[in-house]
Amino acid sequence: MEKVDGMSAERETPLILFGLGGVGRALLSQILEQRSLHRERYGLRIRFTALCDSSGAVVAPQGGFTEELLAGILQHKEAGGTLASHRLGRSYRSPETIVEEIGGPGTVVVDCTASDSTVDALLLALKRGHQVVLANKKPLTVVQDVYDGISGSLGHARWETTVGAGLPVIATLNRLVSSGDEIERIAGSFSGTLGYLMTGLEEGRSFSETVAEAYRLGYTEPDPRDDLGGVDVARKALILARGIGWHMEMEQVEVSGLYPERMADLSVDSFLTELPSLDEQYRELVAGATAEGKVLRYAATLSEGACSVGPTAVAKDSPLGRLTGTDNLVEFYSRWYNPNPLVIQGRGAGVEATAAGVLSDIVELQGSGVRGQGPETVSGVEDTVG
């Protein structure tokens, strides 16, 4: 940390934020709340240079963003406003143009969107020597070349929250790979919504009743099919597969959703009305698993170069078999962790937990300068896995 007249000087980190939905807003709030911690422990001050949503951007005015202005932008967004409609807002041609215009030395580009439209901006940022942090899975699950372009930027990119929110899943995977430990199998439950559903089925409730309850409680997306289709879990599984070193495209992930194609085009209300027609099918699946001394879980499984996602019967006394509720869990089986796997379990969703994970990625990049998210990365997570 630099000293100025005997006082500790903060090192500023310019930050461009794409996405001011739930995670982006939570991240902005947490950065403002943690100013003292970052200053006192790390000698760091995160300085926003541009805030962007799909409508437009607010670029830092002369003199920079004040805390009051940032709080006002948060209020504007939380009230349903767009950045283009903010008094300082303006439109932009593409995320890439923001990086071109605003990115300077030491910039961190943070992607909290849910879009693949940021791909070119992220690759440009890395090409210019900026750092990149993603909560957005889509850039990592488009074509392999894009993943390689991001993951190959050692010390400049992190994406811990793309699999398991704040859980150290990516860091653990990287530790295993970088040590030369051969990963033989990964199995995981990466959806709190689907974990809740499987728990309900195990307790004897019907499929339709449990889905409807999850919908009422707000555990599902506004359209429950966004959860029940399994695509989000498949993206997480693909990120892990590529992290192992497999060259794999999304269409190679075998995905078994929880509703038939005939229900894909129904309205949400009609979909919910039709759910009881699936109850018998799931009663039979649960009964079949029980007869084998197993339980049903919606799991991602990576083994022998293949990746599948869907309802899976697992041993009742396994970590996945003992899992209940909305927690996420991942089992790593490797040369050193076998027959008992290395297990990570905990809250794997929620905007606050995800935003905290993004903030941790930002701060760790500033503190290390050499630790990225490529296979060579080694990050300390000993106290968080068991």
pTM above threshold 0.75: yes
- Domains along the chain? 3-167+351-384 (3.40.50.720), 175-346 (3.30.360.10)
Helix crossing, 22-33 with 35-42: angle to 10°? Answer: 60
Q: What is the pLDDT of residue 369?
A: 41
Instruction: Quote the DSSP letter at residue 60.
Output: P
Residue from 87, 26, 81, 15 nearest 53 by CA:
81
Q: Of the listed 77, 138, 236, 294, which one is catalytic?
A: 236
Active-site annotation holds for 236: yes
Q: How is the beta sheet containing 108-111 ordered, strand by strand?
A: 89-90, 57-59, 44-52, 11-18, 108-111, 131-134, 157-158
Distances (CA, A) of 226 to 193, 235, 272: 11, 13, 13
Q: What is the pLDDT of residue 236?
A: 97
Q: What is the pLDDT of residue 2?
A: 43
* Residue recorded with tokens 């030369």: 180
Distances (CA, A) of 183 to 77, 172, 335, 344: 43, 11, 7, 15
Q: Tens of pLDDT along the chain (386 residues)?
A: 444 343 356 799 999 999 999 999 999 999 999 999 999 999 999 999 999 999 999 999 999 999 999 999 999 999 999 999 999 999 999 999 999 999 999 999 999 999 999 999 999 999 999 999 999 999 999 999 999 999 997 679 999 999 998 899 999 999 999 999 999 999 999 999 999 999 999 999 999 999 999 999 888 999 999 999 999 999 999 999 999 999 999 999 999 999 999 999 999 999 999 999 999 999 999 999 999 999 999 999 999 999 999 999 999 999 999 999 999 999 999 999 999 999 999 998 889 999 999 999 999 999 754 333 443 333 333 333 33
What share of the chain has pLDDT > 90, as a percent? Answer: 88
Q: What is the pLDDT of residue 4?
A: 37
Q: What is the pLDDT of residue 153?
A: 79
